[in-house]
Structure 1
């Protein structure tokens, strides 16, 4: 794939940088970008039962606030006017029960959570799985070496299941299918971010609105103002991280689930134990027979009982599959069933209280304690989707589909827990505007349902692809998954879209705005990458560039940054023409994000010599997963130098056999190796300079009008208003040299 290398020897690299044995055994060569990664080990992340229960406790405070507070508003949103028939309560309860069982338990807890990407969940995790198995990524940087990373490997399709191979071949051969898959992923990401806006609004407004029962003089404006103040406080504490926030919130939400479960059981026993009949699906049929179109419309309110279910998957990177399953099955699901059943029992005797079902059904002595806990639970409900939004933005950023933002890893104990300041403040502003503008939970609920069901439907489609291609599930089980769960979700989707003009347009407007940003960024990013690929400097010309009479070799190590992982970036030739000086040791550094959650530390660096040995030029591919934290410059420099020394040692120990395999050879040039190692150490002690390419992009002169708008205006505006690459890499300014160049796309 890459250009031929002018090298006396073309040897494999060592990826070990922590004093381990560099290379051993007999290795098959697979070198696509002047680098190879032999001797890799499969990594795994395991937790003790103590850690699992610890994470299960934390997950209660982070993941379930949204779905846990849904009893605040489900019945009032479902019966928008009034209850027409007492048995309608049984019908709605039956739909709630079976929706929770089918969507929350069967689909998410026992199926979707298994479709994680080495412990990471969310729309982009599913997309990354599919990208690793089939070459559907639009950026053509899939090298053979990447498949050797421990977490990258997937079981190939077996001959007995040719269906998986056919689907894979169709995806790889269809540009439309690739583009559609990316658009689906972006849409799912946009809807999750929309959830991160709407969840805090509806949860906090619903909880604070309960104070009207005891203080009727409190106006709607006061309630909105209190809600806005609480929302601002929620976003201000996000910087402390999921770990600390989870420990702080978990006891409150645990008390919440205890309260709603006990009160639900009390109401069930006191008012009408006969609602147990709702477990009979017959009452669902009767409900639709009686109410017809009104029953279908009411699904837009009923679907709110599963709001926040997607957070279990989106937040999975903060916890583990087993911890989520334990907390859901032991605490959350039983409490929700008791809460909805208890409210239904109360409503059977008090139809007129349907607008304030939750607070009216609370026994008087528990009213104020329950109000305080409800406000706390509403705050936690906001946390669930906010942390999920951080996770999915981080994933889309690493996949080149989101403008650069600062990602802060907030926990040294648990991987995947992040905070994104820019996104946090934008969510806060959006929440304040929506709460102040809509003012009531009924209008926000209309918008909320669309965001919830859209994400679930897209997740079903992507998981189906995973089941077909990667899991190679029995076709009858796949059909059952699609027909049963897909049909239920599509029915809900048609219902929530009915309320488009009543606030339902809001999440679609959010999605359109975010998808425009993501599409512009990813499209120009792809064009820029392809431009560099087409205009790269052949490595056979590198010797001519660096040995010109006017080019001087200066002491130190030069780290030349580029996104290109094949050949020499075109900006290097531009640099030589304007700054005729090359460091004694030059390393072309390419930061590469793989479609995988994490890359083990000892597999992070890939090295290769570029040009003759006396030239002192190397290539280093630094591989990250989409949840990995970038190394700070001190650690980075140490890793580069240690890895380079390991590589120099290893390349003299191995050579390429005639059959294309890496084989051991006699170690006959020890003095040469020691001399080169001394040069590297001397260069390191002299200076380490970062040479960073700063490329501007403009539309080519023959470009069409929409391409000019896309590149010259939209992308340029985005690039100027987000963090630059050097800020994300955290390179010290005093050791950085920027090299500017303009690309005509």
Structure 2
């Protein structure tokens, strides 16, 4: 086998372990909710209709929409709703109002994805551990404690990275999918007539006969396609081809066979509705299957968690979240990262959800609103890309949009009835994160506005320095500034207090692009000014780490000015944000929220990898 094929096989194996864990554990609870206590009656025609809906949902939502359509809208290999939002904004550069609408849609979709990231691990692990009460009812009281132990172990593992986790979880997840297929096949053999549900006619008949009940059943059917947003968000970890290879060759066939096996069992024995997945398992294999299912649900949670890490870094770089520490966990794939702060917050919230809801059935009532809302927004953003970037015709965009949105909005509206019974939680969480992200974005805009308003123009200042030169000291001073047209406060303070200038003074601005990686030719821009001054612009992609010392070293190698880091001093104005009561801008509570976030954000020096022994920070209060 060639090296390329070996690498593709390894990435596909990792994708099975990380990307498909969430959707791979949906058989644990989907049919139980469709036909269970709050679902439709498990008659012969209803079972076939429900299976038809599940099958065609997998084909339309996962295979057609995400794997074939949405994954085409990659932003130089990166996926996820933030990357899609940036791509859509780049596609409509000359339409400011549409850009603003896209930004709001993208931020809200990202906020809902975080809500999904809290519910998914809780419902997945709970549903697996609930197999204990199927095996031995007396163990019911241990379901929640065991679930919490598993979740704590999962979050402890995150620091080792998706590369190592995928290598461990990939083989386990392959065994899981093979077990799904084996158990499902045994059920189908006993009742092969269930395969008639492959026809969409049974799904249509299901709606015609049940009407309102069929509509509400969609709120449970959607559980079969959960994890699709994580699939897209994790695209940067593994790439398109391995993800598609794993889906069509293993994951999709195993899921369909297992769902139809469960349906066959329910037709043969309606008592199995209490937990059709575990009742499908042969009794001697029940405990090993519970252990395997628990491992698989840990993997399911990994898909959402790693997706949250990727999206957080993108949101930070694009200016929608405060700076946080990002740890790289792989030398081969730059997209494989660990964000400690997000890891801790998700852990606390998931533990709270498990303790609050205490069962997968209760959580199923809360599940769906966040994930289906994100699905609707993803479709809208992808249609913008299709129209303005891929140059699809209007009829093609309308036809595609109608086909996908009918399904997405059907799922979303069916889940709205869950708000009172628990759906309010992910919705409230999403709205809270939306408020946080928009506040940070607007607050940064106000800070930059204040800095620009109070700054001195560059050209008159340089002429003054040339006409009335202060004493000069050897070396290079690099002043970080958000406004290249104004003299940074740090330079003015240095001149005021130390009465000197360096031989060379560089005004450095960092710009984050709407692409994940900056091209070599756009990486830097240098403009020499008189009097030993110069402007330097560094551009980074939103999936890159802005390492300024490394960028300065590369700048000299690519035709720009050379820098000796041992003879270079970095100056930075550290703004202390003050919430002023009478200044227009944001509501007072948002001013105070932004000030709190700014105080607790990772310092720019650490974020830009500036060595502490080459740095001078000067404070500058900024009122917003």
User: Which residue in the other structure is 1:647 paired with?
Assistant: 560
Kept after mapping to 2: 8 A contact 1:190/1:515 = yes
1:236 correspondence with 2:156: yes
**How many positions carry a matched residue from both structures?**
620
Q: Does the 8 Å contact 1:699/1:707 carry over to 2? A: no
Q: Structure 1's 570 and 130: CA in aligned 2 closer, same or farther, altered over 3 A?
A: farther
Work out whether 1:187 is the aligned partner of 2:108: yes
RMSD, matched Cα: 2.1
* Contact kept in structure 2, 1:127 and 1:462, CA below 8 Å: yes
The residue number in structure 2 matching 1:318 is 237
Q: Distance in 1 between matches of 2:484 and 2:548?
A: 21
CA contact (8 A) 2:135 2:286 kept: no
2:12 aligned residue: 56
User: Which structure has the highest helix share of the two?
Assistant: 2
* Aligned mates of 1:433, 1:510 — CA distance in 2: 13
Out of 185, 197, 212, the position equivalent to 2:118 is: 197
Instruction: Tell me the residue number matched to 1:580.
Output: 499
Paired residue for 1:627? Answer: 543
Cα-to-partner distance string for 1:119-161 (whole Å, 9 max, x where unaligned): 00011111111222333xxxxxxxxxxxxxxxxxxxxxxxxxx
- Measured after TM superposition, the shift of residue 637 of structure 1 is 4.8
Query: Map of 1:289-328 to 2, 5 A cutoff?
Result: 289-328=208-247
* One of 24, 27, 32 as aligned partner of 1:76: 32
Match of 1:119 among 77, 89, 105: 77
| Greater relative contact order (Cα < 8 A, sep 6+) | 1
CA distance in 2, matches of 1:546, 1:640: 27
| TM-superposed deviation, 1:348 | 0.4
One of 88, 98, 102 as aligned partner of 1:130: 88
Task: Tell me, yes or no, if structure 1 residue 374 matches structure 2 residue 293.
Answer: yes
Aligned to 2:58: 100
Quick check: 1:545–1:573 contact (8 Å CA) kept in 2? no
Higher mean C-alpha deviation, range 198-207 or range 442-451: 442-451
User: 1:59 touches 1:250 (CA, 8 Å); kept in 2?
Assistant: yes
The equivalent of 1:259 in structure 2 is: 179
**Cα distance, 1:544 vs structure 2:** 3.9
TM, length-normalised to structure 2: 0.95
Change (3 A) 1:632 1:574: closer
Q: How far is the alpha carbon of 1:463 from its aligned partner? A: 0.4
SS of residue paired to 1:630: coil
1:473 aligns with 2:392: yes
Identify the match of residue 269 of structure 1 among 189, 193, 214.
189
| Alpha-carbon separation, structure 2, partners of 1:480 and 1:134 | 21
Instruction: State the partner residue of 1:671.
Output: none
**Change over 3 Å in CA distance of 1:545–1:244 after alignment to 2:** farther
CA–CA distance in structure 2, aligned partners of residues 538 and 569 of structure 1: 10
The answer to whether the aligner puts 1:460 opposite 2:379 as a matched pair is yes
CA contact (8 A) 1:189 1:393 kept: no
Cross-structure match for 1:719: 598
Asked if the contact 1:537–1:573 (Cα under 8 Å) also holds between the matched residues in 2, the reply is no
8 Å contact kept, 1:550–1:580: no
- Structure 2 unaligned regions, length at least 5: none
Indicate whether 1:616 and 2:532 are aligned.
Answer: yes
TM-score, normalised relative to structure 1: 0.80
* CA offset digits 1:286-329 (Å, max 9, x no partner): 22233222211111111000000111111011011111111111
Q: Paired residue for 2:612?
A: 733
Tell me by how many angstroms 1:547 deviates. 4.5
Give deviations 1:675-725, integer Å, cap 9, x for gaps: xx8xx66xx55x3211011123335674259544322x1111111222221
Hey, what's the Cα distance between the residues in 2 that align with 1:457 and 1:636?
39
Partner residue, 2:510: 591
* Partner-residue secondary structure (3-state), 2:319: coil
Note if 1:361 corresponds to 2:280: yes
Q: 1:50 to 1:566 in 2, by over 3 A?
A: farther
Distance 1:550 1:446 in 2: 72
Checking the alignment, whether the CA contact within 8 Å between 2:265 and 2:272 is kept in structure 1 is no
Structural mapping, 1:390-405, within 5 Å? 390-405=309-324
Residue 693 of structure 1: aligned partner? 573
Other structure's SS at 1:111 match = helix
Higher CA-based Rg = 1
Secondary structure class of the residue paired with 2:138: coil
Q: Secondary structure of the equivalent of 1:348?
A: helix
Q: Deviations over 1:554-608 (max 9, x none)?
A: 1122111122344543553344334422211222222211111112457533222
Q: Structure 1: how far apart are the matches of 2:622 and 2:600?
A: 20
Whole-Å separation in 1 of the counterparts to 2:61 and 2:528: 53
Selected match of 2:254 from 326, 335, 348:
335
Question: Are 2:360 and 1:445 aligned?
Answer: no
1:34 aligns with none
The answer to whether the Cα contact below 8 Å between 1:574 and 1:741 also exists between their aligned partners in 2 is no
Q: Is the 8 A contact 2:75 2:516 kept in 1?
A: yes
Q: Report runs of 4+ in structure 1 exceeding 6 Å deviation.
A: none
The equivalent residue for 1:145 is none
Task: Tell me if the contact between 1:546 and 1:582 (Cα under 8 Å) persists in the aligned partners.
Answer: no
1:473-503 superposed Cα distances (whole Å, 9 cap, x missing partner): 1333222211111011111111101010111
- The residue that corresponds to 1:703 in the other structure is 583
Structure-1 separation of matches of 2:403 and 2:552: 54
> Do 2:89 and 2:103's aligned partners in 1 also have CA atoms closer than 8 Å?
no
Partner of residue 226, structure 1: 146
1:225-273, Cα deviation, whole Å (9 max, x unpaired): 1101110110111111111111010000000000001111111001x10
1:616 Cα offset (Å)? 1.9
Tell me how far 1:190 sits from its aligned partner: 1.0
Alpha-carbon deviations, 1:393-451, whole Å to 9, x = none?
11111000011111112111112111100001111111111111110112212222111
SS at match of 1:406: coil
Instruction: Give 5+ residue unaligned stretches, structure 1.
Output: 1-46, 136-168, 649-676
